[in-house]
Amino acid sequence: MTAPVGTQSFTTKESVASELNHKKWVEEIVSEYGSDFQLEHKLTISDIVGEDNNEYAYLQNGKSSVYEADGGWIFYKGKLIGVCEHKYQDADKNAVERAAKYLMILPRHSVFISTSGYGFSEEAMRKQSTATAKFVAIARHGHKRLGLERGVGFSLNEGGNAFKDTFRDWFEYLISKETDYYS
């Protein structure tokens, strides 16, 4: 849930618990594939665009601003190959579309997004056209319009083994696309 403008940001207990599960499961699976893979939870804007191209995205202390990813930025032998993000929503109004920012940084197949909470339930999304419903449709199927083999990796309200199966399928696809390129 997003804090109203002018107030301190906050998050719900359910959101924190959901993000912690996502993070734990991602770390568990990535670690199974060996030490060539690392996760970083923060990536500076300068790392993304290059120091020379970062004109404005700096903190007051002069350091580059960062993008944080709940599951982490995935590196293979030191090269960025993917990102994992989680969005929890307990209502039908949200800012889930912020997760689309990763598509400006990485190819679609390099992005994994998991969602949880009532806002992503069939009940909530079928009631009316919501931001979550539009996001789910595009995340799951937007690549087909472009004729792409796959789009983003996507987990809708999955927990435990179902999440791990979905993530592992995506991660193995990512590895098949990226490790040959970087080897």
Residue 1 has a pLDDT of 44
Is 48 within a domain?
no
For the ranges 26-30, 132-136, 157-161, which has the lowest average pLDDT?
A: 132-136
pLDDT, one tens digit per residue, over 38-67 is: 999 999 999 999 999 999 999 999 999 999
Structural domain includes residue 55 = no
In a domain, 141, yes or no: yes
Domain that holds residue 175: 13-34+69-182
Within a domain: 160: yes
Mean pLDDT, all residues of the chain: 87
Q: Considering Cα of 11, then 16, then 17, then 21, what sign does the dihedral take?
A: positive
Single-letter code of the amino acid located at 59: L
Q: Is the pLDDT of residue 35 over 90?
A: yes
Q: What is the pTM of this model?
A: 0.86
98 is a domain residue: yes
How far is the C-alpha of 34 from the C-alpha of 111, rounded, in Å?
20
Residue 130 lies in a domain: yes
Least confident of 20-24, 83-87, 134-138, 177-181: 177-181
Query: Mind listing the pLDDT tens digit for each residue in 104-133?
Result: 999 999 999 999 988 888 888 888 778 888
- State whether residue 156 is helix, strand or coil: strand
Count structural domains, the chain.
1
Tokens standing for residue 78: 């030191």
In a domain, 1, yes or no: no
Q: Establish if 40 belongs to a structural domain.
A: no
